[in-house]
Amino acid sequence: MAWREGEKIGPYIILSQLGAGGMATVYKAHHPELDRYVAIKVMHQAMMDDSSFQTRFQREAQIVAGLDHPHIVPVYDYQQFEGQPYLVMKLIEGETLKGQMSRGALTLEQIVDLMTAVGSALTYAHQKGVLHRDIKPSNIVIDKNNTPYVADFGLARITSQGESTISTDMVLGTPHYISPEQARGAKNLDARADIYSLGIVLYELVVGRVPFTADTPYTIIHDHIYTPLPLPRAVNMEIPSSVEEVLIKALAKDPQERYASADDLARAFREAVYTSKLTVLNPDRANIASISLARLRDEMQASVVTPYQGIPAARHGSTATKVSPINPKAARYWKLGGLISFLALCSLSSMIGLSAADNIGQLAETGFFELEQVQEASALSNGALYVVPSNMTVEEAEAFLTENPNDPILHLALAQAAWQANDSELAENALRDGLALSEDKTKYLLTAANIAQAENRTNAAITFSLLAYNAAANNADDLFTVRSIAGEYLYDVVETQNIDVQEIIQAALTEDEIANTGQAAPIVGLLVVRQEILQNRLRLAERTFNQVSDQYDNLAEYQLIQGELLYRQGQTEQARAQWEVILASEDAPEWITIRAQEFIDSLEE
């Protein structure tokens, strides 16, 4: 329920409503005893049922209460009134930077002063270990004396404690101002994420428009990660090259290439302005920028000759994508061909409820698994996985798909939402349709496997991991990436999940096929060996291992598992020798090198 003018809230008397958002409303109030005017931010009653919002609200108070800076809006108090939490803050009589920009462009002097103040505030917060994570014009307030304040730490994070005011599985920030690493969902953010966002604000102030805009937030996020920055001078030739260089550095895709602090950014901008002898910016630069940016976007789209690749994400864990050639012989042998296609067909069909008699025919008719025609020229670029919009309901995902029916990543989003709603049939249908649309089958399948893993759909995760191997069979770089991601998952899953790899193969192939080709497919054969080792069936493991040893003994996966088998057989030094071969190799995926080192270290204990 909204608070009314004259209503007493604790010691405060409500005077008027200043604004309202999706989570809270802000009021102007007065404390009679202290004769102090304040701003009160109160959580909406509708948010009270969500404990995460309450936690976020309280954490904002705790975080900002520890900050004391002349350009950060201070929090005076945190209380509850009739069960509704509220923050008491300094009242800033003025307007947001967004509001000021809507009335007209700022002067150059105003921009320099604003950058100096905000840069100082952010640097102070960063030194205190606090990231803002949502720097944008609407979170910068300017009072009647033209003093800027950084406001709304509702998405802030304490870096030293890893604490955040919201759940860590969400992509944080506002699309137009979000840093590439935030857009990827990275968890190890540092000050340079805020510096990028501040750089976007500066770009908008100087150039006249934000660099990336589109019809959907999804496309904007993609552009922040991959689309080259529209050069300021290409948008407006009046901008000096020295100022352009500052913006380019602030908005580097790689955080390590940006300024080390917000103060450094502000200082560099100030020096660039003074050394260039720039004294005034065109007050009509917003209109100039709109026309120029539209032209640049059209030119870029006209020059694109490769298919749209979607939004890849930063990978989780310690594994890094390593683009490195592998032995051509190994690449040939890693082509799983019909085995994995057949295996995945049967495994997936069982998940979506097709009968054993007609499952292969029905799926084949859809063209779902036409992976042999994947072109070799398309190595995985721009990351290994797509960024998939999360926290969607099925209805929301379907609504986005209605507007963008040919976007394969939205099919992934629908599949994730469907799994979360326990609708496996809808999930599998969405994945099938999306795969048909995807230009990069390997990346799509890896992402599908990753989503299935996150949603605890082990059979689907295994199936799509194996399919990714098949899709990447003709491209060494893609294959290395699949080995780095799917390989690690499959290696671990036989130990942590109650599955039977042998049973999966037997369900998919005849006895003759198993004898002739089943164990010769390396990823399947080696997984069977590892499971037999873990079950202490060492003779059977050795027999299975001998069937693949002649073809795959140059692969790090082979050497890792052979070391495990030798160790279980009591041949410690021979096991060590296998693992040391991995450490000396430059072609082993990182996770295999880590496992080998861990095994060797365990021998020393």
Dump the DSSP string for 39-108.
EEEEE-GGGTT-HHHHHHHHHHHHHHHT---TTBPPEEEEEEETTEEEEEEE---EEEHHHHHHH-PPPH
Q: Is the separation of the CB atoms in 3 and 42 below 8 Å?
A: yes
Structure token pair of residue 283: 């007050």
First vs last Cα of the chain: how many Å apart? 64
Instruction: Please give, one letter per residue, the 3-state secondary structure of 187-216.
Output: CCCCHHHHHHHHHHHHHHHHHCCCCCCCCC
Q: Which of 466, 458, 506 is CA-nearest to residue 369?
A: 466
CA distance 492 to 165: 33
Instruction: Quote the Cα angle for 396-315-583, to 5°.
Output: 160
CA distance 393 to 386: 19
Q: Is the separation of the CB atoms in 509 and 518 below 8 Å?
A: yes
Q: Is 134 a catalytic residue?
A: yes
Q: Which of 50, 68, 134, 477 is catalytic?
A: 134
Burial class (CB in 10 A: 0-12, 13-18, 19+), 13: middle
Q: Which of 220, 76, 221, 57 is CA-nearest to residue 154?
A: 57
Burial class (CB in 10 A: 0-12, 13-18, 19+), 36: middle
Dump the DSSP string for 429-450.
HHHHHHHHH-S-HHHHHHHHHH
Q: Which of 26, 16, 86 is CA-nearest to residue 5?
A: 16
Element of type H or E holding 458: helix 458-471
Dump the DSSP string for 348-386.
HHHHTT--TTTHHHHHHHHTTT--TT--TT----S-SEE
Structure token pair of residue 145: 């004396």
Q: How many CA atoms lie within 13 A of 35 on its CB side?
A: 0
Q: Which residues of 174-196 are buried (b: 16+ CB within 10 A; e: fewer)?
A: bbbbbbbbbbbbbeebebbbbbb
Q: How many CA atoms lie within 13 A of 330 on its CB side?
A: 19
Q: Is the separation of the CB atoms in 317 and 146 below 8 Å?
A: no
Q: Is 20 helix (H, G, I), strand (E, B) or coil?
A: strand
Q: Which of 484, 480, 488 is CA-nearest to residue 462?
A: 488
Structure token pair of residue 85: 């939490």
| Catalytic positions, written as ranges | 134
